[in-house]
Amino acid sequence: MSTYSKQQLQVVRDALDRQRGALAEYIRAGLSESEQNQFAAILGHSAGDSSDEALASSLADVASARLDIEVNQWRELEAAARHLDSPEFGACQDCGIAIPLARLTANPAALRCVACQDDYDKTHVSQQHGSL
């Protein structure tokens, strides 16, 4: 029971690849040369679910504090890329409805529909601002 057609998923996949590529460039630009090599190595073997944990900790090691947000976004996109083919992809994590395609194209890593994201942001606003 896939929520979206193959064509629709391809649109999301394209958007995801573009964003991931741009983000990777941005992260590279913020890293020193030795850090870039580490990051490139991590990118090179990022496929496969079992490397999730290792990938996350490696990225955390490589990234300096100023890159945390970008690396987090990149990890979210990686996770979205892995789930793109699963029947659950695009289902709102909170209420279960299909997230509109336009929202997924704008943000392939979106986990919630707009209404649930609003609720989430309202209840988590103090945490978000606390780290800035």
Interface residue list for Zn ion (CB under 5 A) = 92, 94-95, 113, 116
Task: Give the span between the Cα atoms of 64 and 109, in whole angstroms.
Answer: 22
Taking the least distance from each CB to Zn ion, the nearer of 41 and 95 is 95
Taking the least distance from each CB to Zn ion, the nearer of 46 and 117 is 117
Q: How far is the CB of 104 from Zn ion (least distance, A)?
A: 13
Q: How far is the CB of 39 from Zn ion (least distance, A)?
A: 34
Cβ atoms of 61 and 35 closer than 8 Å: no
Q: How far is the CB of 120 from Zn ion (least distance, A)?
A: 9
Q: Would you list the DSSP string of 21-69?
A: HHHHHHHHHTS-HHHHHHHHHHHHT--SGGGHHHHHHHHHHH--GGGHH
Taking the least distance from each CB to Zn ion, the nearer of 23 and 92 is 92
